[in-house]
Structure 1
Amino acid sequence: MNAKPFCLGLALLLAGCDASPPPDEGFAGLGQASEDFAQVVPGKLFQFPADHGAHPDFRIEWWYLTANLEDAEGNAYGVQWTLFRSAMRPAADQPGWDNGNLWLGHAALTTATDHYAAQTQGRGGVGQAGVTTAPFKAWIDDWSMQGDAQSVLHVQARGEAFAYRLDLYTDRPLVLQGDNGFSRKSDRGQASYYYSQPFFQAKGQLEINGRQVEVSGTAWLDREWSSQPLAADQYGWDWFSLHLQDGRQLMLFRLRHADGPDYLSGNWIEPDGHSEPLHGQDIILKPLHETRVAQRNVPTRWSLAILRHGLEVEISALNPHAWMAVGTPYWEGPVRVEGSETGIGYLEMTGY
């Protein structure tokens, strides 16, 4: 997702309002009806580099990167970079101030003891934010992600008391999530187009309260777009991206319903990039421990089993207090994996 990924009530944020959407519109309004926008249907033929760029016929999309990093002493860090586009109306992609696209950026840096987060926002059509494909560049203000979006990326952002600049490389293929890029979010038809590059190797520099830190590690890029990715009664999600020690990768998410069972889905990704969809019956995911953060109880330790792949692990947060105190707040931070396999990854949790 990200999970990432999501509009986060973007129109409300840019209007300076912290109101919540009606309860029949899902988390952050992502369950709102969207008949006037393009719809996600199975069978899309992805085209690159075009699909690295914006999709103005759809209501929402995001470019989302997480990185698990270490310094020379073995200290662990996490980095997040996200750019969201949200259309206020169909045919929003107009020049100048007639443009109806709203843009939102989130950046974060996490250590075992501290978490830093920043948000920036802007209007489309006036050069403040956007995405190009020739060459690829996604930017908002002085935050940027540029390269070819598949094998090379250079990423930078800064906020109060933190900054980072990372160089990412891989020779592995992109991964289409779900059913060849068609990622179902409910049994009632909600879905997104979704692909990832989970194989990036990262090197770069962090700045924390003026201190420079050289780091290296792994990174994961997600691209997702839709017009209605949630059902109206889905009020939040838990999204995992995991790098296992043996070279396999795992993406999975749990969408929580106001009533009824959770919706579980994911992808099992082999080291060569071959992937296999995971369905609800394949995934045994349970919260084990909650942390009180920002006046909420948030699950920061989990058990996960994918029995047909012999995976039985516990997943725990590097920093249980990695709360994104932005316009629509959520939890996001690096995690560690222990059990039948070891590994690292990222967890995003919304709606708590």
Structure 2
Amino acid sequence: MRIKFAGVLLTLLLSGCDQSVPVEKGFAGMGNQASAFTPVVPGRVFGFPADHGPHDGFRIEWWYVTANLKDEQGHEFGAQWTLFRSALKATPEVAGWENQVVWLGHAAVTSATVHHAAERYARGGVGQAGVSLAPFNAWIDDWRLSSQSSDADPLADVQLTARDKAFSYQLRLTSNRPLVLQGDKGFSQKSEQGQASYYYSQPFFRASGLLEIDGKPYQVSGPAWLDREWSSQPLTASQTGWDWFSLHLDSGEQVMLYRMRQKDGEPYLTGTWIDAQGQTQLLHGADIRLIPQDTTRVAGRSMPVRWSILIPGKHLDIVISALNPKAWMDLRIPYWEGPVQLSGSHGGQGYLEMTGY
């Protein structure tokens, strides 16, 4: 993801546990001032595997995976898994019930006709959720993203699992490609005022395994994408939501795009072009034309489920369409998220997330 919702936990989940928590501002609380927490500034030197783990001092972060999958008959599916970490205080974590971190998990599966989503909540410090290194393991209850590799890169081979009453998946994700720093060497700006996150991805995963929907199993495979972001105040109070795209092009290239919508004025656009060798180029608003096309009514909202994307400098002129226009995440923090198909100058597949509608 791409911006996510961990900050909203400060009000939705913990106001009953910590009455000193302030009222949030901006979409999902992400625009609330966070002066006590560590700011995101350009020039960070990333270090792995340490940056796969939690970051004390920052208010919010997430581990996020999407997979575009097909079975042996060519039926298309999507799978999504996210673990959010929200810190109530900027101090280092402590063990036990005095721990100041809350965890939230989201998981979903999508087909052309079905969409199921589920969520989990946990308090840190008591073993119910967390992220550890050596070996890498991110978990909440029995949902896990865990390394299967003794290689120097713990994300070279990982197992992804989630289960709920209507669905489950067990997927193996592998890649021998290097990680990708998004934005300007990992500094991903989200507004003209300078709000930003630290952001890296593994967009070259190959997924394979078992997906089950409503009791029916499917052997599936396809491309997958992992995002890691952390920040303290990634949005301004005037940003109402965002549209995020991750695209696997048939040419072997990958594209990430953010469209941050404002209460007034034009959206803030940014993105990253990733070539087939993993080299990146920062995309600015002037490089991108991102236009909503067809809409559909979902949960009482009008959602743009078909988009035109034009990046002239890369000869990209495509239309993306939702596999399932009804892919509404009907959770305590609702949003739209699901797989998309590509047509035009490039074929491919990807994922779209839309919030704040």
TM-score using structure 2 length: 0.95
Q: Distance in 2 between matches of 1:124 and 1:22?
A: 20
**Stretches of structure 2 lacking an aligned partner (at least 5 in a row):** 148-152
**1:75 and 2:75 aligned:** yes
- Structure 2 residue matching 1:9: 3-state secondary structure: helix
Question: Amino acid of the residue matched to residue 205 of structure 1?
Answer: L
Q: Distance in 1 between matches of 2:164 and 2:304?
A: 27
- Structure 2 residue matching 1:113: 3-state secondary structure: coil
RMSD over equivalenced CA pairs, Å: 1.5
Match of 1:140 in 2: 140
Match of 1:12 in 2: 11
1:7/1:84 contact within 8 Å kept? yes
Match of 2:169 among 158, 164, 173: 164
**Stretches of structure 1 lacking an aligned partner (at least 5 in a row):** none
**What is the deviation of 1:149?**
4.7
Question: Amino acid of the residue matched to residue 100 of structure 1?
Answer: Q
**1:3 and 2:8 aligned:** no
**Structure 2 vs 1, CA of residues 23 and 185 (structure 1 numbering), >3 Å: closer, same or farther?**
farther
**What is the deviation of 1:189?**
1.2
Bigger mean CA deviation after superposition, 223-232 or 145-154 = 145-154
- Structure 1 residue matching 2:286: 3-state secondary structure: helix
Question: Amino acid of the residue matched to residue 291 of structure 1?
Answer: T
Q: Distance in 1 between matches of 2:22 and 2:294?
A: 30
**Structure 2 vs 1, CA of residues 133 and 45 (structure 1 numbering), >3 Å: closer, same or farther?**
same
Match of 1:176 in 2: 181
**What is the deviation of 1:152?**
1.3
Q: Distance in 2 between matches of 1:12 and 1:37?
A: 17
**What is the deviation of 1:160?**
2.1
- Structure 1 residue matching 2:293: 3-state secondary structure: strand
Match of 2:150 in 1: none
After superposition, the C-alpha distances for 1:243-265 in whole angstroms (9 at most, x for unaligned) are 00010000001000001110000
**Structure 2 vs 1, CA of residues 115 and 164 (structure 1 numbering), >3 Å: closer, same or farther?**
same
**1:265 and 2:264 aligned:** no
Q: Distance in 2 between matches of 1:287 and 1:194?
A: 25
Question: Amino acid of the residue matched to residue 49 of structure 2?
Answer: P
Question: Amino acid of the residue matched to residue 167 of structure 1?
Answer: R
**What is the deviation of 1:11?**
2.7
**What is the deviation of 1:183?**
0.3
**What is the deviation of 1:51?**
0.0
Question: Amino acid of the residue matched to residue 146 of structure 2?
Answer: Q
**What is the deviation of 1:4?**
3.7
Q: Distance in 1 between matches of 2:90 and 2:228?
A: 21
**What is the deviation of 1:6?**
2.9
**What is the deviation of 1:208?**
1.2
Kindly report which structure 2 residues correspond to 1:1-352, keeping only aligned pairs within 5 A, or say none: 2-7=1-6, 9-15=8-14, 25-91=25-91, 93-147=93-147, 148-352=153-357
TM-score using structure 1 length: 0.96
Q: Distance in 1 between matches of 2:331 and 2:7?
A: 10
Question: Amino acid of the residue matched to residue 297 of structure 2?
Answer: R
Q: Distance in 1 between matches of 2:15 and 2:24?
A: 22
**What is the deviation of 1:106?**
0.0
- Structure 2 residue matching 1:78: 3-state secondary structure: strand
Work out the number of aligned pairs and report it.
Answer: 348
- Structure 2 residue matching 1:91: 3-state secondary structure: coil
Q: Distance in 2 between matches of 1:58 and 1:326?
A: 25
